[in-house]
Amino acid sequence: MNGDRDRELIQSDETLFAIIDALKQSDGVGVSQVASAVGVSKSTAHRHLSTLLKHQYVVRTASGYRLGLRFLDLGGHVREQYPSFADVEPKVTELAETTGELAQFIAPEHGKGIFVFRRTGEKAVRTEARVGKRVFLHHTAAGKATLAAMSDETVSEIIDRWGLPAKTDATTTDRDALFSELNLIRDRGFAIDADEHLTGLWSVGCPVMATDDRVLGGISVAGPRHRMKDAGIESALPELLQAIASEIELNITYR
Amino acid sequence: MNGDRDRELIQSDETLFAIIDALKQSDGVGVSQVASAVGVSKSTAHRHLSTLLKHQYVVRTASGYRLGLRFLDLGGHVREQYPSFADVEPKVTELAETTGELAQFIAPEHGKGIFVFRRTGEKAVRTEARVGKRVFLHHTAAGKATLAAMSDETVSEIIDRWGLPAKTDATTTDRDALFSELNLIRDRGFAIDADEHLTGLWSVGCPVMATDDRVLGGISVAGPRHRMKDAGIESALPELLQAIASEIELNITYR
DNA sequence: TTCACTGTTCCGTCTTGCGGAACAAATTAA
DNA sequence: TTAATTTGTTCCGCAAGACGGAACAGTGAA
C-alpha cells in the first residue's frame, strides 16, 4: 500500500493499537465486530485479542471483549513515575477544598494537555472531563498557562502539529491573537479562560515549574461564571493559585 | 522454541508487551538497554519504540524513553466504562471521611484484585499501594470478602492459577483454612485482615454485589491495629461498611 | 428442525518482522 | 584537540510468522 517509509514501524503493533482503540470506542464487542471495525480478518483479530487476553490487557465478558483494569495499573504507574507529581496531588486537593470549586492539574505531552489530577470541591460543577483526558492546550486556562511558560518556538511547533481548533465561540483560534495572549499571561503570571472550553464555565490557571526551569504543567480552578467573578477571578483567585504553585515548586525543590 | 501452540498468538505483540514492561520497570531507558532487557536486537526494539512513539504511548526525554500519560487516559477510560464504579467512588470518599482512615475499593479481574478507588482520611496511614496495583485476593480484607462472594469452584480456579503465597507471617496460605475462613465471612458478612497484608495494618472489608448477583468487588477500611480495635473492628466498622455497601447496591439498582 | 450468526482452528502464501552490519551521532577518554 | 566507545538510526537479505480465507464448531432465534 504505502510502501516506502513504514519500514521503521511495525504493522502488527499498529493493528494492535487499532484494536485497543476499537475496544475503547465501544465496550463489549466480539471478534467479528472488532475485525470489521479495524479492517482485518477475523483470524487476525482473534489472534491479537488472544494475545491481549493472555497478558491480561483485556477481559472477556458475556457481551464480548473489553479493555481490562491492567490499564489502570499502567496509568497509575505512569502518574507515579513523575516524581514531582506526588507534590502536586495534595495541593490540588487543598485548592478544591479551599475554593469549593473544581481544581485540576494539566501536564503537557506531545503538544496536548492531559488531566493528571482532578478534585471537586463542595459546590463544584460536574464536567465530563476525567483523569487522562487529552485536550488542546489552548482550550483551558491551565493549558494556556502551560503554553505561556514555553518558548515561542515550542508553541509554534505545537500549533503546527495540532492547529487551533475552536471548542466554543470564545476559543482563541487565531495564531497571532494567541501569541499576544500568551505574552499577557507571561506578564501577569496567570491565564483566564472565559467560556473558551465550555460555555458558562470560567477558570483561572497558572503554570507550575520544575527545577530545571521547564514547565511541569498548569494548575487551575474552574466554576460557573458568576461564582468565579464573585470569587475574584482577576485578583484573589490568581493570588491563591500562584501561592499554591509556589508551594508546589518549593516542595519539589527541597524534597 | 516452544513451537506448537503459539500459532494462536502474535509474537510481535508479545515483544511489544515485553518492551512496555521493561519501560515500566525502569523509567528513562534507551534503545540499547531496552533491546538487551527484552532480548531482541536493537533494530527490533527501535522499530517497536518508534511505533509506540508515533501513537503517543511513550515519550522521549533526555534520559530515554518512558511510558506516556496516554496510559492514564486508557486507565481512566477503563474505570469509567464499568458503569457501576461511578456509584462506588463517592462512597469510598464518604467512608474515608467518616472514619478518617484509608478506604479502598478492590475489583477482581483475572483472579487478582485491583485497587480501583483509594481515599485517605485525616489520620490515614500511608501505604505503598496505588490505584491500579494488583494484589492477591487472599491478602486483603476486601479481597477475601470478594472471594467469599464467589462460588467455591471459582475460588478453586483462582487458587489453582495463582496459588496462595504469603505476604506476611499472618497470611492464610492453606487452602482448607482459606475455605473455612470464607465460610465464616459468608456467615457474618464481612472479612477481617489482621497483619495479613502488612504487619501492623488491620482492615475490615465487605463485598459489593452487582445487579446480576455477581460480585463487583470489595470495599474496605484499613488502619493501624490499635485504632482499628478502638473503632470496633468486629462490630461498629463492619456495620458501617455493610451500610455503605447496601447504599452502593441500591444506587446501582435504581440508577 | 433450519438458518444465521458467532468464535475457533487449520493451512498455504508471501508479507514483513527479524538480526546483523554499516552508518551516524553523541559522549567519554586520553 | 583526537581517539575510542557507546549510543541511535538506516539498510538489506532471509525465513519466520502474520495474514486472509475456508472449514469447523457452538449458540441463539425463528
Q: Please list every residue in chain A whose beta carbon sits closer than 8 Å to the beta carbon of residue B114.
A: 69, 72-73
Domain A82-253 in the same topology as domain A11-72: no
Kindly tell me if the per-residue pLDDT of B255 is higher than 80.
no
> A82-253 in CATH: which number?
3.30.450.40
CATH topology of domain A11-72: Arc Repressor Mutant, subunit A (1.10.10)
* The one-letter amino acid at A68: G
CA atoms of A10 and B153, how far apart (whole Å): 42
* Backbone dihedral region for residue A232 (phi beyond 0: left; psi -120 to 50: alpha; all else: beta): left
Q: What is residue A197's three-state secondary structure?
A: coil
pLDDT tens by residue, chain A, 255 residues: 333 456 688 999 999 999 999 999 988 899 999 999 999 999 999 999 999 999 999 999 888 999 999 999 999 999 988 889 999 999 999 999 999 999 999 999 999 999 999 998 888 888 878 999 999 999 999 999 999 999 999 999 999 999 999 999 999 999 999 999 999 999 999 999 999 999 999 999 999 999 888 899 999 999 999 999 988 888 899 999 999 999 999 999 887
Residue in chain B lying closest to A130 (CA): B76
Query: Contact at 8 Å (CB) between A60 and A53?
Result: yes
CA atoms of B139 and B127, how far apart (whole Å): 14
In the predicted model, what is the mean pLDDT of residues B38-42? 92
Which has the closest alpha carbon to B56: A65, A71, A110, A8? Answer: A110
Q: What is residue A143's three-state secondary structure?
A: helix
Q: What is the pLDDT of residues B190-247, one digit of tens each?
A: 999 999 999 999 999 999 999 888 899 999 999 999 999 888 888 899 999 999 999 9
Domain boundaries, chain A: 11-72, 82-253
Partner B contacted by A60 (CB < 8 A): no
Report the footprint of strand D: residues with C-beta closer than 7 angstroms. Answer: A 7-8, 11-12, 15, 40-44, 47-48; B 9-12, 30-33, 42-43, 46-47, 49, 64
Contact B16 A24 (CB under 8 A): no
Output the nine-digit C-alpha cell for B102.
484509608
In the predicted model, what is the mean pLDDT of residues B53-78? 93
Query: Contact at 8 Å (CB) between A164 and A172?
Result: yes
* The one-letter amino acid at A46: H
Partner A contacted by B5 (CB < 8 A): no
In the predicted model, what is the mean pLDDT of residues B138-148? 97
Calculate the CA dihedral of residues A79, A228, B122, B82 and round it to 10 degrees.
Answer: -50
- What is the C-alpha radius of gyration for chain A, rounded to an integer number of angstroms? 21
- Measured from the Cβ of residue A21, the count of other Cβ atoms closer than 10 Å reads 14
